Structure 1
Amino acid sequence: MLFLLTVLTSILAFASSEETNPFKEAYSWIEKVNSNPHSTWKAGQNFDPTLPASYIKKLLGLKRKNRPSILPRALPINDINDKDIPKEFDSRKKWKYCKSLQEIRDQGACGSCWAVAATSAFTDRLCIATKGKFNGHLSANELLACCSECGDGCGGGYDDAAWEYFKNHGVVTGGDYNSSEGCQPYQLQPCEHHVEGPRPQCSSLEPTPTPPCETKCLNKKYRKPFNKDHHKVKSSYSVPSSVAEIQKEILKHGPVEAGFIVYTDFLSYKSGVYQPSPSSTSKGGHAVKLIGWGVEKNTPYWLVQNSWNSDWGDKGLFKILRGKNTCGFESEINAGIPK
C-alpha cells in the first residue's frame, strides 16, 4: 500500500510539473492565439517545449520590487508639446549612426536581462548625446558582475539599482561575447534558446554562474586603464507612467529601459501587437529596451528590442499594446542622462 501511494504521488507530481512547464504551455497557446479572430498578434514556436521548467529563470531576470523605486521621478518635459509627438517613431531611423541601436542582444543562459537592457539603453543614449563620437558599447558584464546592490547577477536584479550604479560608479566599455571590444566584453556565451539556429543550444550548456567582479580590463588588447574608462550618467530617474511623457523622453534623449510581467503566451510571440490572453499565467519579470511606437491595424503599440537573440519573435523585436499599461509595461520605465 505504501509503495502504491508513493507511486501515485510521484505520478501526480510529474503531471503537475508537466502542466506548469511554461515552454509546453507556451506551445499550447499557438493554435489558440492564431485561431482567435480578435487577436492582434500571431504566435509560433520559439522555444523547444522539452526545455525544463527551471530554464525560465535564465530568461526572466527582473526582480519584482516590494518597495518604491530608489530613483526620483523625472520632471515633465515641457519643450515638446503633446501635439508634436509623431504617430510613429523608431529610434533606429532617427539615430542611424548609432550601431548599438541596430543590434539585438543575447543575454545567454543567465537572468541578466536587467543588466543587458540597462547598459544597452545607456549605450544608445551616450551615442546620441555625443552625436556619434561615442559609438561603441558599454559593459553589461561589469554591471552584472560588480553591482552587488543590484541583486543576484545571473539570479536576477533590479532595474532601478542599475541606473543608480551608472550614476554613482559608472561603467566601463565592453562589447559582445568574444568581440575583443572595449575593456570588459560580455563573458557569457550566446546560445540558442530556440528550436532552430546556429548557436549552441542553451540547454546543453552548464548552469551559468555570475561572472566574478573584476577591477581590471579583461580585454588584453584594450589600451585604456580600467579606472579611466568609466562612463556615468549625471542623473538617473524613473519616467512617469504617462504615454506622452514616455514618448517625449525617448524623442529627446533616446531609448529607455522597461520592466514588465511576462505571461506564458508571450514566449510564443511572432508578430503583431501583443496582448496577453485572458487565461495565460504570469511567469516572472523581464527587462527590455523600448525604442519607439506606432499603430498597426488601428492598434497602438510600443516597439521593443528583446535580448533573447534575433531568432526569437519578430527578428528579436516585439510590439506590445500601448496606452493600457499592459503587463505593467508603462509603470516601470527607467533612464538617465549621460554625463
Structure 2
Amino acid sequence: MPPKHNNTHPVHPTHPIANHTHANTPVNDKSLIDRINSNHTHGWKATEYSRFDNMTISQLRDNLFGLSLMSSDEDTPRMANIETRVDIPMNFDARTQWKGCVPAIRDQQTCGACWAFSANYVLAHRLCIATNGQTNVVLSPEYQVQCDTMNKACQGGYLKYSWTFLENTGTPLDTCIPYASGGGTFSSGTCPTQCKIASMSMSKYKAKNTVYISGINNIKTAIMTYGSVQAGFTVYRDLTGYKSGVYKHLVSTVLGGHAVALIGFGVEGGSNYWLAANSWGPNWGMSGYFKIAQGEGGIENQVYAGEPVY
C-alpha cells in the first residue's frame, strides 16, 4: 500500500481559509466551522458532529481515510464512449428515478473500509434496478472486510480490487455477516464460512463486467442508465464538517483517500456537482448524502462499477 499523506500541506494562496492544522487538532474545530459559515460565497455550510467528538486529526486520518488512490489503471476495461447519452439533463437523482431502490446509508464508524461500503452500495443498488425492484437487498461489507485479502480491511484498500473480489467471490447478505469491524481493529484473512445465524444459507451476490469509467458525460450516462457508481477522491480536512450546499475544499490539509457512491448530479448556485452517498451514517451531511463539486479532490479520476449477476 502506498505511504499515507503527510500530516500537513502548505496553505496555497488560492485557499480562501488558511487553516494551520496539526496532528492533535480536534476534528470538531469550532473556529474553522465559524469561518466557513461566516463567508456566504463558499456555497456550503458546516457544523460539528458528535461522531467526531474527542477525535484528533491524526486519529481521524489513521482510522477513516485508508483508500489508496491509483495514479492510473491500464487493466480494467473502459466504458465505451459510444454509450454516452445525448439527452443528459441538468439534474438527476437516482433516488427519485428508482424510488424503490434506495440503499440505506451505512456507518463505517472508525474502520477505513469505505472501499467495501461504497462497492456494496453500488452492487446492491444496481441489482435492485436491474431486477425492477424484485431483488432489494443489503449486502455485507463485513464479509468483504474479512475475506478480501487483496485489500487491507480497516486499514484501507483499492477500488478496482474491491470489484475483483465481488466478481470472483461475491458477498452475502448483511444479515448473514453483520458489520462488526466498526472499532477499526480488524485485519483481513479470517474469512467466515457460514452465516452468524447457522440456519441461514451463505448465498453470495456477485458482479461481472466491471468497468473503469472516465469522463464526466460517461459517468453521468452510467448513473442514469444502470445506477450508482463508485468513486474515490482526495479528502481535505474540512469535509468532515459538511452540512449542506456544494462542497469545495477551503483548507489545504489532506486527510487521505475516501470512496463513496455517486448517485446523481446537478447544478446549484452556478456550481456543477455530484450527488454522493457517504458511509458516515444518516446524521452526517444531508441525511448521509452530500453534494461535491465536479473536479473536487479528483473525484472523476477513479470511478468504477460492475454489473450485478442475477
TM-score normalised over the length of structure 1: 0.78
For residue 243 of structure 1, report the CA deviation from its aligned partner: 1.2
Alpha carbons 1:27, 1:268 under 8 Å: kept: no
Output the CA distance in 2 between the equivalents of 1:18 and 1:37.
23
Output the CA distance in 2 between the equivalents of 1:248 and 1:45.
35
Deviations 1:279-306 (A, max 9, x none): 4211100011111011112222111111
Output the CA distance in 1 between the equivalents of 2:85 and 2:101.
26
What residue number does 1:258 align with?
A: 231
What residue number does 1:214 align with?
A: 192
Q: 1:55 to 1:338 in 2, by over 3 A?
A: same
Deviations 1:74-119 (A, max 9, x none): 22253x532x11111111111111242xx21101221111101101
SS in 1 for 2:81: coil
For residue 254 of structure 1, report the CA deviation from its aligned partner: 0.2
For residue 45 of structure 1, report the CA deviation from its aligned partner: 1.3
Answering whether residue 284 of structure 2 is matched by residue 316 of structure 1, we say no
What residue number does 1:81 align with?
A: 85
Output the CA distance in 2 between the equivalents of 1:60 and 1:27.
22
Deviations 1:127-162 (A, max 9, x none): 11111121112221111111101x210111111101
SS in 1 for 2:257: strand
What residue number does 1:127 align with?
A: 128
Of structures 1 and 2, the larger Rg is shown by 1
Answering whether residue 96 of structure 2 is matched by residue 96 of structure 1, we say no
- CA RMSD, Structure 1 to Structure 2 (Å): 2.2
Alpha carbons 1:306, 1:316 under 8 Å: kept: yes
What residue number does 1:288 align with?
A: 260
Q: 1:27 to 1:286 in 2, by over 3 A?
A: farther
Alpha carbons 2:113, 2:156 under 8 Å: kept: yes
What residue number does 1:199 align with?
A: none
Q: 1:113 to 1:69 in 2, by over 3 A?
A: farther
Output the CA distance in 2 between the equivalents of 1:171 and 1:70.
23
For residue 27 of structure 1, report the CA deviation from its aligned partner: 4.0
What residue number does 2:6 align with?
A: none
**1:302 corresponds to which letter in structure 2?**
W
Output the CA distance in 1 between the equivalents of 2:82 and 2:72.
26
Deviations 1:33-84 (A, max 9, x none): 2222421111111254631322332221212335636422222253x532x1
Alpha carbons 2:44, 2:246 under 8 Å: kept: yes
TM-score normalised over the length of structure 2: 0.85
SS in 2 for 1:337: strand
Aligned positions, number: 287
* Alignment gaps of 5+ in structure 1: 1-16, 175-180, 190-204
Q: 1:37 to 1:164 in 2, by over 3 A?
A: same
SS in 1 for 2:265: strand
Answering whether residue 66 of structure 2 is matched by residue 61 of structure 1, we say yes
SS in 2 for 1:148: coil
Output the CA distance in 2 between the equivalents of 1:216 and 1:62.
28
Output the CA distance in 2 between the equivalents of 1:109 and 1:115.
14
Comparing 17-26 and 264-273, the one that deviates more: 17-26
What residue number does 2:117 align with?
A: 116
Comparing 66-75 and 243-252, the one that deviates more: 66-75
Q: 1:27 to 1:134 in 2, by over 3 A?
A: same
What residue number does 2:173 align with?
A: 173
**2:273 corresponds to which letter in structure 1?**
Y
Answering whether residue 235 of structure 2 is matched by residue 231 of structure 1, we say no
Answering whether residue 177 of structure 2 is matched by residue 184 of structure 1, we say yes
Q: 1:265 to 1:22 in 2, by over 3 A?
A: farther
SS in 2 for 1:138: coil
**1:45 corresponds to which letter in structure 2?**
E
Output the CA distance in 2 between the equivalents of 1:216 and 1:70.
33
Alpha carbons 1:26, 1:265 under 8 Å: kept: no
Given the alignment, which residue of 38, 42, 50 partners 1:39? 42
